[in-house]
Amino acid sequence: SNSSSLIKVYPAIIKGRTFNLSLPVPANKLQVVNSTGSVVFERNLNNAIGATIINLPALSKGIYIVQVWDENGASASKIIVD
């Protein structure tokens, strides 16, 4: 199985401007993509592993996809900014 699927993004509903990332293997890049497919935030993770806090810019309320790249490829998780 692909361990990319073990990447956890939480909470799924974001009330403030931070979320947590749990990375089972070193990850090198994160993107947050809006519902129209535009990248609204990008961060180099510098091979971060384990628990990482991501600080977001002010985003409009809505559904976003968090994409994380690691040695296994890309994984995508849905978040809601409320």
Are 22 and 54 in contact, with CB atoms under 8 Å apart?
no
Classify 5 in phi/psi space as left (phi over 0), alpha (psi -120 to 50) or beta: alpha
pLDDT 10s digits, 60-74: 999 999 999 999 899
pLDDT 10s digits, 20-53: 999 999 999 999 999 999 999 999 999 999 999 9
pTM confidence score: 0.90
Are 64 and 79 in contact, with CB atoms under 8 Å apart?
yes
